[in-house]
Structure 1
Amino acid sequence: MTDARQAAVDRAKAYFNQGGFQTDLAVLVAHPTESQNPERRPELGRYLTEAMVPRLAGLGFASRILDNPDPRGGPLLIAERIEDPALTTVLTYGHGDVVRAQTDQWREGLTPFALTAEGDRLYGRGAADNKGQHLINLAALRAVIDTRGHLGFNMRIIFEMSEETGSAGLAQVCREHADALMADVLIASDGPRLQADVPTLFMGSRAALSFDLVLELRSGAHHSGNWGGLLADPAMILAHALATICDGRGQIRVPEWRPDSLTPALRDALRDLSVIETGGPQIDPDWGEAELTPAERAFGWNSFAVLAMTSGVPDAPVNAIAGRAHATCQLRYVVGTDPDDILPALRRHLDRHGHQAVRILPRDGDPAHATRLMPDHEWVRRVAVSVQRTTGQAPHLLPNLAGSLPNDCFAGILGLPTIWVPHSYRGCCQHAPDEHVLQSLSRQALAIMAGLWWDLGSGLDGD
């Protein structure tokens, strides 16, 4: 590692060691940017104008804030620092909105919008998803600029404030402002590492589609003594309908939901990856597709889940046959699944099994496309070399994340190779009470990104 590169990495570490990261993250976390809470809508714009624009200006970026073309979504920010049009241009992304605070469910001594340090953990809503992650990337840019005097490449940025409500308007903005977002590659940070102690690169994501299955047989409920055995039970019928979608071990039975994209090359890329995490839940070895490894099930296959199911009044049951049953469901799907045919295929499947009365009600907007980039792509190799150069560790390489991100906007609409360098871990309580980042992981992530930004400005060969 050259002396100058090491100086930039050390500067990023010093920012952490001297308390700068914790101080700055506390400021970001204090913005209550709950995009799922309509009362917090004004906070979405304030995050961009008060927290992001001044920070980006200090890094030499020109920023502009866009009204969302979709009335469901919050504002967006586009920024750029162009040093020379002939240089490589990197697009990066972040989101400043967070899920609902769930304040009353946090452990005693913790509150969502006040950063709290306990041991290796920094607690706060958005600390992991996504404020801490884009703060790391911006702070690492500062370390390079202060060391080198310039970046040595161009950067464009898009921040949104609606990721937690489905990224409303992001795709349209990418289409309408494609010239302002033109780049050679997307390098951004969101989601978790595969293992907390090993850097991870992932290059795409599964997509997700949520929908409701509803069976309404009659208005109101009727006494189970007088009518039991005479009135059909919608909960039982809906349970049988669900049982046609997956078998007893969760294997998908809808033919169109079984992808053909788990190629030998993909299986080889997933071969040595473990989804077991220290401190995480124990996986069920007899759940999911029997012929696949756990990694293939998580990253190379589709998964169906019943997120919630009701019939009658669960909190106060009465002796009555309900008239209605309702299940909220979700399909996480990989490349090779036609998103426009997911619900039509389910309709055909249920009809074939005699469940014409079960209605399918979409919950989301237009379904997204899953994305994937294989580890042998040139940009993946270049970023992986930089990460290993900084840490001495070869990163885990995932063709796609098991979760979902709006990556289709960048890979599909903008046509970019996409590489995500996550700065969190799977046990971070993302979307749950007690969300946190690990200080040790954050410190390493600052070094990784300072090294990566440095390498991008020197042809990844040092200088």
Structure 2
Amino acid sequence: MTGEQAVAQATAYFDSGAFKALLARRVALRSESQRDDCDALIQAYLDDEMAPAFQALGFTTEQLDNPQAPARPFLLATRIEDAALPTLLCYGHGDVVFGDDEHWRDGLTPWQLVEEGDRWYGRGSADNKGQHSVNIAALEQVAAARGGKLGFNCKFLIEMGEEVSSPGLADLCRREAEKLRADIFIASDGPRLNAQRPTLFLGSRGAVNFRLSIHARDRDYHSGNWGGLLTNPGTQLANALACLVNPHGQLQVAALKPPAISAAVKAILSDIEVGEPGGPEIDPQWGEAGLTPTERLYGWNTLEVLAMVAGNPQRPMNAIPGSASAVCQLRFVVDTDWQNIGSHLRAHLDAHGFPQVAVEVLRGSPATRLDPTDPLVGWALAAMAETSGKKPALLPNLGGSLPNDVFAQILGLPTLWVPHSYPACGQHAVDEHMLRSIAREGLQMMTRLFWDLGEQGGELLARHRAHRAQEEQA
């Protein structure tokens, strides 16, 4: 059988309705990781859905404990055909955000897959049950087409706490590095560039949240009696924020800016147009000067104010507030000195006359990016293009964040992400849905990628290692 025939077989499977039925069963499990009363259903997703699916494919399955969050375990499925073959690591998460049942529109519920035109509605249909289900189905189709063989070894990690910031995932990858040892990582999460264009992204921007606060005094004071005599923390904090990011959204802290965008990344991004029909209108005057909107989103750093409070906005009093605070976020690309963000902010605020502003770093995750010139990237793009008949979009990194650092940095793997969703899918919102057309095309592309990995895996990885060695010597 050829790769084209394997794709045709996968297409027939999808068109039979079997994939939709499988996804409907998985969506029906309320695996809301943000709640503490869904533990049994979270466990059921592993026990009743994932473990049997992998075992039917000849994988051995093992539940891995999560000491940081015992009720959010991991499942590792492993299939070793030959120790000499390349090993693929895949990943997905079976937990979902709150269902928010009462706010879905009439006729829809988070826990029942409903088809309307090209849309399959249901919580987790896009994030991430639908996406990892596509990839598992592609493995199944390749094994069936190859007479029970994949042509490579495969490990598949299912997480049940991604929507609560993946507690324990990094520790797991350090602790179980040998069990998770592989040669290449391929997974699906996040959205495509848009609904029409298949997309490959190679990592994600990092994110670090921090709080700025001013505590001037322990109580508020009447503005008529004390106005003009007491400092106003709200006013001071607003000015402090203005010294970090200007009125045009441009980051002002030089130490937190990335290096100039490389020519190679600029060339890749020149083929990308951001925005989605039905999405918000992009403000062309907002963000770093001299960059295109695409470069601002995928190649640069942004500082955002997420929340800000002084006094009581719901019941404002005629009083000078005693304190003010703001939670901010820096989204950043690789080669940003984000781990020293606290000292950089402190130095910048002091230099601009704001020593009274306290800086508290809350949490952060690194940025990652596989070298876009790596031979694995060209291979994946070519397979996706041939299968879909479309030119895929290549993103050096996702604009948002994923736990890619644990795979790229802790496990040291080349990471390829092929999303099966799109920006307007309702992810983390009401009326979440997966597009049937994207799921179908995704299954076709993943089947072809896995088929080719079984045919060419050893050669592809040898080229990858040679390229990496050359880059390290340069």
In the alignment, the residues of structure 2 paired with residue 4 and residue 382 of structure 1 have an alpha-carbon distance, to the nearest angstrom, of: 17
The residue that corresponds to 2:278 in the other structure is 279
Shift in Å, 1:39: 2.9
Amino acid at match of 1:267: K
The residue that corresponds to 1:362 in the other structure is 361
2:442 matches 1:445? yes
Amino acid at match of 1:216: H
Shift in Å, 1:73: 7.2
TM-score after normalising by structure 2: 0.92
The residue that corresponds to 1:108 in the other structure is 106
Q: 1:39 to 1:211 in 2, by over 3 A?
A: farther
In the alignment, the residues of structure 1 paired with residue 213 and residue 427 of structure 2 have an alpha-carbon distance, to the nearest angstrom, of: 30
The residue that corresponds to 1:304 in the other structure is 303
Shift in Å, 1:456: 1.2
The 5 A counterparts of 1:310-389 are 310-364=309-363, 367-389=364-386
Tell me, what secondary structure is at the counterpart of 2:185?
A: strand
Q: Would the aligned equivalents of 1:128 and 1:430 in 2 still touch at CA under 8 Å?
A: yes
In the alignment, the residues of structure 2 paired with residue 359 and residue 112 of structure 1 have an alpha-carbon distance, to the nearest angstrom, of: 42
Q: Which moved more, 1:275-284 or 1:132-141?
A: 275-284
The 5 A counterparts of 1:193-342 are 193-260=192-259, 262-342=261-341
In the alignment, the residues of structure 1 paired with residue 30 and residue 314 of structure 2 have an alpha-carbon distance, to the nearest angstrom, of: 31
The residue that corresponds to 1:13 in the other structure is 11
Amino acid at match of 2:165: G
The residue that corresponds to 2:146 in the other structure is 148
2:411 matches 1:414? yes
Q: 1:77 to 1:268 in 2, by over 3 A?
A: same
Shift in Å, 1:241: 0.9
Q: Would the aligned equivalents of 2:187 and 2:418 in 1 still touch at CA under 8 Å?
A: yes
The residue that corresponds to 2:453 in the other structure is 456
Q: Would the aligned equivalents of 1:78 and 1:158 in 2 still touch at CA under 8 Å?
A: yes
Q: 1:19 to 1:335 in 2, by over 3 A?
A: same
Q: Extract structure 1 runs of 4+ deviating beyond 4 A.
A: none
In the alignment, the residues of structure 2 paired with residue 255 and residue 357 of structure 1 have an alpha-carbon distance, to the nearest angstrom, of: 21
Shift in Å, 1:372: 0.8
Tell me, what secondary structure is at the counterpart of 1:181?
A: coil
Shift in Å, 1:227: 3.0
Residues 307-364 of structure 1: CA distance to partner in whole angstroms, max 9, x if unpaired?
1112222223233222222211111111011231122211221122222222222332
The residue that corresponds to 1:98 in the other structure is 96
In the alignment, the residues of structure 2 paired with residue 42 and residue 395 of structure 1 have an alpha-carbon distance, to the nearest angstrom, of: 40
Q: Would the aligned equivalents of 2:333 and 2:368 in 1 still touch at CA under 8 Å?
A: yes
Q: Would the aligned equivalents of 1:96 and 1:131 in 2 still touch at CA under 8 Å?
A: yes
The 5 A counterparts of 1:156-171 are 156-171=155-170
In the alignment, the residues of structure 2 paired with residue 229 and residue 103 of structure 1 have an alpha-carbon distance, to the nearest angstrom, of: 50
In the alignment, the residues of structure 2 paired with residue 430 and residue 218 of structure 1 have an alpha-carbon distance, to the nearest angstrom, of: 42
In the alignment, the residues of structure 2 paired with residue 96 and residue 255 of structure 1 have an alpha-carbon distance, to the nearest angstrom, of: 40
Shift in Å, 1:70: 1.8
Tell me, what secondary structure is at the counterpart of 1:374?
A: coil
The residue that corresponds to 1:178 in the other structure is 177
Q: Which moved more, 1:15-24 or 1:232-241?
A: 15-24
Amino acid at match of 1:289: E
The residue that corresponds to 2:85 in the other structure is 87
The residue that corresponds to 2:74 in the other structure is 76
The residue that corresponds to 1:27 in the other structure is 25
2:50 matches 1:52? yes
Q: 1:97 to 1:153 in 2, by over 3 A?
A: same
Shift in Å, 1:240: 0.7
2:402 matches 1:405? yes
In the alignment, the residues of structure 2 paired with residue 216 and residue 103 of structure 1 have an alpha-carbon distance, to the nearest angstrom, of: 40
Tell me, what secondary structure is at the counterpart of 2:369?
A: coil
Residues 53-97 of structure 1: CA distance to partner in whole angstroms, max 9, x if unpaired?
111111111111111132487211111111111111111111111
In the alignment, the residues of structure 2 paired with residue 89 and residue 432 of structure 1 have an alpha-carbon distance, to the nearest angstrom, of: 36
In the alignment, the residues of structure 1 paired with residue 344 and residue 37 of structure 2 have an alpha-carbon distance, to the nearest angstrom, of: 38
In the alignment, the residues of structure 2 paired with residue 98 and residue 210 of structure 1 have an alpha-carbon distance, to the nearest angstrom, of: 22
Amino acid at match of 1:441: I
Tell me, what secondary structure is at the counterpart of 2:434?
A: strand
Amino acid at match of 1:436: H
Tell me, which stretches of 5 or more residues in structure 2 are unaligned?
A: 460-474
In the alignment, the residues of structure 1 paired with residue 352 and residue 175 of structure 2 have an alpha-carbon distance, to the nearest angstrom, of: 44
Residues 357-401 of structure 1: CA distance to partner in whole angstroms, max 9, x if unpaired?
22222332xx32211123321111111121112112221111111
Q: Would the aligned equivalents of 2:256 and 2:338 in 1 still touch at CA under 8 Å?
A: no
In the alignment, the residues of structure 1 paired with residue 21 and residue 405 of structure 2 have an alpha-carbon distance, to the nearest angstrom, of: 34
Q: 1:108 to 1:88 in 2, by over 3 A?
A: same
Q: Which moved more, 1:151-160 or 1:208-217?
A: 208-217
Q: Would the aligned equivalents of 2:39 and 2:71 in 1 still touch at CA under 8 Å?
A: no
The residue that corresponds to 1:128 in the other structure is 126
Amino acid at match of 2:175: E
In the alignment, the residues of structure 2 paired with residue 439 and residue 69 of structure 1 have an alpha-carbon distance, to the nearest angstrom, of: 38
Q: Would the aligned equivalents of 1:261 and 1:336 in 2 still touch at CA under 8 Å?
A: no
Q: Would the aligned equivalents of 2:274 and 2:293 in 1 still touch at CA under 8 Å?
A: yes
In the alignment, the residues of structure 2 paired with residue 397 and residue 49 of structure 1 have an alpha-carbon distance, to the nearest angstrom, of: 36
Tell me, which stretches of 5 or more residues in structure 1 are unaligned?
A: none
Residues 245-283 of structure 1: CA distance to partner in whole angstroms, max 9, x if unpaired?
101101101111111152222212212211122222211
Amino acid at match of 2:423: R
